[in-house]
Structure 1
Amino acid sequence: MHSKLRKLAVPGVLAAGLGAGLTLADVMKDPIADAGAQQAQPAVYTGAATAPGSPAALSTAFRAASHAAMNAVVQVRTETAARTVAQQVPPELRGTPFEGMFGGQMRVAPQATSGSGFIISPEGYIVTNNHVVDGVTRVKVVLNDKRELDARVVGRDPNTDIAVLKVNGSGLPTVRLGDSDQLDTGDWVLALGYPLELGQTTTAGIVSAKGRSIGIMQRSDAASSPLEHYIQTDAAINPGNSGGPLVDLQGRVIGVNSAIASPTGYYSGYGFAVPINLARRVADDLIRYGVVHRPMMGVEIRDVTNADAEVFGLPSPDGAVVASETKGAAREAGLQMGDVIVALDGQPVRSRGDLMEAVMRKEPGDPIRVDYVRYGSRRSATLRLTQMDVRPAAIQSDAGEVADGDDAADRVGFAVTQITPQIAQQLGAPGAQGVVVSGVDPMGPAAGQLGRGVIIERFNGRAIGTVAELRQAVAALKPGQVVSITARFNDGSHTIVNFRARS
């Protein structure tokens, strides 16, 4: 059975409202001086001394960490109003005599869901997940002392799945924020929240991995520039945990629980949390402006593959490939398509997620130093970040089949057709010439890198204008040789992809 990635609460509606007053920079300087200073702090176990590293000592550490944060962990209850939607005909019944049973309007009953959150300021600012409050019409927050308070949505960021709520209050208990950069694989962590309507729950586990990109944000229509750089943990996380804190053994929040990998939708061993250093930056903007001011370099990037390392002269398959023509600040600084970014401000960049998170922590207008490799030569450049103008992401389809019996198509995993005036019109690129990808083998070497409608311009440095020229270039490949393709999308932008041909 294949594992499925799920967000942990039913998506719900934006309740409007912009934050005013204190910003996160004001309220997060050190909301809790130490783990014992939290209001209404339950007594921590003070029994007989235990040997360091013993099971009893670990139990005491878990207890202290849980108690340090639990007063500020809240349940987020949401409601979605009844609505009328068009009734859809199931695909398997279309064109059958039963199709007439469907159509028209259908009344959807009000829905109630819940998630979790945590208070970051005594005045009532609360961090949770965007998907907990997306689409809901009413939000209530239940505090640890059972008080129920109406909440408004200060702001949401679908790209990082972070949202901020506000309740009216003063002197509320708050969490203490940690430093997710200091985490390492194997560190103990606790997940707190309100899973499965069971009431407040604490589970324990370790950090299983850092910097995980699981692809779940790409499935959200609202996420135009998704940023995934999750902490992976085996602490049990279930529906209802969304938005709750992941804390270290000092009770400091180091992540926001957001998703699980599961074939059933319930805990199966792997949970994912947004690092608090990223969530803190996003929440600060949401409180201050109601939206996120996201900086940008002017590059489209992807992870480095083994084939990239061979083509670009890298010592290892680490870094972020500049996958299309550069724009703005990156172009002015001299970066080009095919460059591989390996460090930012002296900090190593091992993946696309590393670079995106590092840039996200900056502000538009900040200068940054970028180290990159251009075909084996290491270089550096300084550029000034600009502000991202977020637009809906274009959707590209990888659907299609490679024609049977085509040896050239089989070796590279995709098929092409000659561009005619009619095809150029369909592509939305009148005047386009050359060959266009007509199908991609979903199990082939080009899967996930090329899609239908992409125009092939160069193949291993050789200009391609006809199907025959591409066949000749493929025929010249040695078994298992790396392929480097320069391609053009129908909007005129370019990309470069590298993979290893089939033997």
Structure 2
Amino acid sequence: MDASLPSRRRRRPAYRVPPPLTAALCAVALAAGCSPAGTAQVAAQRPARAAHSAQPAPLTQRSGNDLQTAYETVIRNVLPSVVQIEAGNSLGSGVVYDGQGHIVTNAHVIGSGRTFTVTVANSEQPLRAELVSSFPEQDLAVIKLDTIPRGLKAAAFGDTAKVAVGQIVLAMGSPLGLSSSVTQGIVSAVGRTVSEGAAGGGTGATIANMVQTSAAINPGNSGGALVNLDSEVIGIPTLAATDPELGNGTAPGIGFAIPVSMVRTVADQIIKHGRVVDSGRAALGITGRTVVGPDFQPAGVAVVTARKGGAAADAGIRAGDIITAVGGTRVTTIASLSEVLAADKPGQRVKVTFTRGGGTRTAEATLGEM
């Protein structure tokens, strides 16, 4: 990946989902009006209901000197569509996807839960919701409210093709307090491929084409909305970078959001079919593990199983082989294999380099679907 952080030794950054914000911790924050380290700030009282307003004029028609008014307008338009999700002992966020009560969020926010408590902006009482389906491979999930409250407002979703470096964006979390659940920044980069760790609550997903932003990503934002100044959701905030030189502490100003194009693809399929039927993600059809070489450095991916009928098995790759390259790109770890495949498409033919019995071999594989 090209998302390395500048340092004297230029160590590769790590990525992790923000740790879950526990209900107990939230209660402490509410009582004390404080912001514990590593958590989103939570207001000491529930805000007044946000008024619904007309859609704002396009950004190009606004005065460049009226940025504050633009921020306030975006918050009024979008924050009512951002909800708080309580999943067991943890709290996260979600975005109202449509008027039928569907809410899109991160798979890591809901975990293994099946039922949830959701607080929406226009209802004083928490509402019950059930899981429709989760797609951990893309860290996305859809849940559905049992009862649709009057005036439920679906968010407007933007166009990934129009997201550009330098655009001003706001990251929004659950609406417990407007000032403490909104952060601002810019789009720092697009097209990043990032792997999230399975440890600490992540799904282990490798996600392509992510939007990098300087807006703070924390437990109050994860699963919420990354929004442009035209009040459109352009991504779902999901990951924060960690810097090895800071003891894997969060690297300030480096967060990532799942692009809106993938959010729509996954959410639309889940709502229509109850699951993802066409991920668009390439796969070799193996389970594997990272192996190290004589220097104790990662040296490839050992095939543990090759699924019958899968791309690897059909190409003659079998358990015990060690994959070292795909399509000419070196593979040293499970994460690097996932990153290579994230850029490919099902049906694409690639050359797979692997070792067997001390010798190096190559095979042509037609990639399957995740």
Please report the TM-score for the alignment, with normalisation by the length of structure 1. Answer: 0.47
Distance 2:63 2:177 in 1: 36
Question: Do 2:170 and 2:215's aligned partners in 1 also have CA atoms closer than 8 Å?
Answer: yes
How is 1:101-500 mapped onto 2 (pairs within 5 angstroms)? 112-136=89-113, 138-145=115-122, 146-167=124-145, 168-170=147-149, 171-194=151-174, 201-216=181-196, 226-263=206-243, 266=250, 268-294=252-278, 393-402=286-295, 449=331, 486-488=353-355, 494=362
Question: Do 1:256 and 1:274's aligned partners in 2 also have CA atoms closer than 8 Å?
Answer: yes
Uncovered stretches (5+) of structure 1, i.e. residues with no partner: 13-38, 80-111, 301-390, 404-412, 416-431, 441-445, 452-483, 497-503
Q: How far does residue 202 in structure 1 lie from its aligned partner after superposition?
A: 1.1
- What is the percent sequence identity of the aligned residues? 30
Instruction: Check 1:137–1:299 CA distance in 2 against 1; reply closer, same or farther (3 A cut).
Output: closer
> Who is 2:34 aligned against?
none
> Who is 1:7 aligned against?
17
> Who is 2:80 aligned against?
71
Distance 2:361 2:105 in 1: 37
Distance 2:299 2:106 in 1: 39
| Other structure's SS at 2:137 match | coil
Instruction: Check 1:59–1:255 CA distance in 2 against 1; reply closer, same or farther (3 A cut).
Output: same
Uncovered stretches (5+) of structure 2, i.e. residues with no partner: 1-6, 23-49, 301-316, 334-350, 365-370
Q: RMSD of the alignment, in Å? A: 4.4
| Other structure's SS at 2:291 match | coil
Question: Do 2:17 and 2:202's aligned partners in 1 also have CA atoms closer than 8 Å?
Answer: no
Q: How far does residue 11 in structure 1 lie from its aligned partner after superposition?
A: 11
Q: Which amino acid aligns with 2:72?
A: R
Distance 1:115 1:163 in 2: 12
Instruction: Check 1:250–1:166 CA distance in 2 against 1; reply closer, same or farther (3 A cut).
Output: same
Work out which structure has the larger RCO, using CA pairs closer than 8 Å and 6 or more positions apart in sequence. 2
> Who is 2:29 aligned against?
none
Question: Do 1:9 and 1:131's aligned partners in 2 also have CA atoms closer than 8 Å?
Answer: no
Distance 1:157 1:259 in 2: 16
Q: How far does residue 299 in structure 1 lie from its aligned partner after superposition?
A: 7.2
Name the count of aligned residue pairs: 276
Instruction: Check 1:395–1:126 CA distance in 2 against 1; reply closer, same or farther (3 A cut).
Output: same
Instruction: Check 1:154–1:230 CA distance in 2 against 1; reply closer, same or farther (3 A cut).
Output: same
Distance 1:297 1:158 in 2: 13
Distance 1:220 1:489 in 2: 35
Distance 2:206 2:169 in 1: 26
| Other structure's SS at 1:71 match | helix
Distance 2:299 2:93 in 1: 45
| Other structure's SS at 2:294 match | coil
> Who is 1:62 aligned against?
71
Instruction: Check 1:291–1:269 CA distance in 2 against 1; reply closer, same or farther (3 A cut).
Output: same
Q: Which amino acid aligns with 2:264?
A: R
Q: Which amino acid aligns with 1:72?
A: S
Q: How far does residue 228 in structure 1 lie from its aligned partner after superposition?
A: 2.5
Distance 1:487 1:69 in 2: 50
Distance 2:110 2:352 in 1: 43
Structure number with higher strand proportion? 2
Q: Which amino acid aligns with 1:154?
A: V
| Other structure's SS at 1:394 match | strand
| Other structure's SS at 2:76 match | helix
Q: Which has the larger radius of gyration?
A: 1
